[in-house]
Amino acid sequence: MKKILLVGKFNTVFQDMSNFLMEYFQVQACIDKADMVKGMLKLNHPDVVVISLIGLNKDNEKMFMELKLNYARTPVVFIGSEGEIETMKVYMKEPQFSTITRQKNKETIMEEICRRINMTYGEEGVVENNVKKSILLVDDSVIQLRALNEMLKDEYDVQMATSGMQALTLIGKKLPDIIFLDYEMPMCDGKMTLEMIRQVDEAKDVPVVFLTGVNDKDHIEAVIKLRPAGYILKPASKEKIYETISEILV
C-alpha cells in the first residue's frame, strides 16, 4: 500500500481528508512544523506528500525548502482555496509541486494524488499502473553494459553508467530499484562506489549486486565484507541475472 504524509493544521477539514485517504492509502498525519515534517520524511519515506494550506503562511518556508532541497523526487500536492494557493505559489514553481483547489470534490483530489504516484483512481478504487522496475548498471566496459542491457531492456527500465561518479549523477535524477555494480573499475572501484552510494540518504537502502570476474577466496571474502545484496561472477548468464533480481525484488 502506498504511503501518504498528510501535513497541515489539525482541524475538521484535515481530519475529513485523512479519513478519506485512509480508505486507499497508508496515511501518516503530521502537523505543519518543519522539524516534525523532516523527521516524518526520514522515518516513513512517503510516496507522496499532501499539504493542506489552511492556516499556512511564509513561516512554513523552512518546511517547503526541506521538501525541495532534500526530497526533490517525492511529489507534493498542495490542497487549498484559490487565495491560499495564490499566496503560497512562490514556493510551488518546481515540477515536484502541484496544486488543486479544496473546492474540488474528493474524487478529483484523489485523481490528482494518484496521477503523481502513477496510479489510477476509478470504479475499481486505486490501481497501480504497470511500471517497469528500474535497474542501474555500472561497469567501465561498454561491451558489458550493452550485453546486460540487451538481457534486461524488455522487462526493466535500464540505466547505464561507466563510472561511479556517473552512477551517482543518475541516482540523483532517478532512484533505481536495484543496482548491478562492477567490482573492478579504474579510479573509483566498486568498493568506493558502494560507499558513496550509501552516503546518499535516499539511496542507502537500494540493493546493490556486485559483478566480479575474479573468483579467488580472498577476493570473494572482500566482496562479502561490503554486505551487498548479492554478487555474481562474470560472465553472467541471463538466467542468473533474472534469478537474482527475482530474489531481491520480491
Q: pLDDT digits over 74-87, tens only?
A: 899 999 999 999 88
Task: Please identify which residue in the block is written with the cell numbers 499539504.
Answer: 51
Query: 119 and 222 in one domain?
Result: no
Q: pLDDT digits over 170-225, tens only?
A: 998 889 999 999 988 888 888 889 989 988 888 888 999 998 877 777 777 777 78
Query: 117 and 36 in one domain?
Result: yes
Q: pLDDT digits over 134-169, tens only?
A: 999 999 999 999 999 999 988 899 999 999 999 999
Last residue of a domain, one of 81, 101, 128: 128
Which residue range forms the structural domain that includes residue 71?
3-128
pLDDT confidence band for 99 (50 / 70 / 90): very high
Query: 106 and 22 in one domain?
Result: yes
Query: 121 and 38 in one domain?
Result: yes
Q: For the chain, what is the domain count?
A: 2
Query: 123 and 96 in one domain?
Result: yes
Q: Are 105 and 4 in contact (CB under 8 A)?
A: no
Query: 120 and 23 in one domain?
Result: yes
Query: 113 and 14 in one domain?
Result: yes
Phi then psi for 131, rounded to 5 degrees?
-120, 130
Read off the CATH number of the domain in which 220 is found: 3.40.50.2300
The pTM score is 0.56
Query: 152 and 100 in one domain?
Result: no
Max Cα-Cα span within the chain: 67
Last residue of a domain, one of 79, 96, 128: 128
Own/partner contacts of 105-109, CB < 8 Å, gap of 24 or more, are 106/17, 106/20, 109/17, 109/79
Task: Please identify which residue in the block is written with the cell numbers 543496482.
Answer: 179
Q: pLDDT digits over 42-76, tens only?
A: 888 899 999 999 998 877 888 988 898 888 878 99
Query: 194 and 142 in one domain?
Result: yes
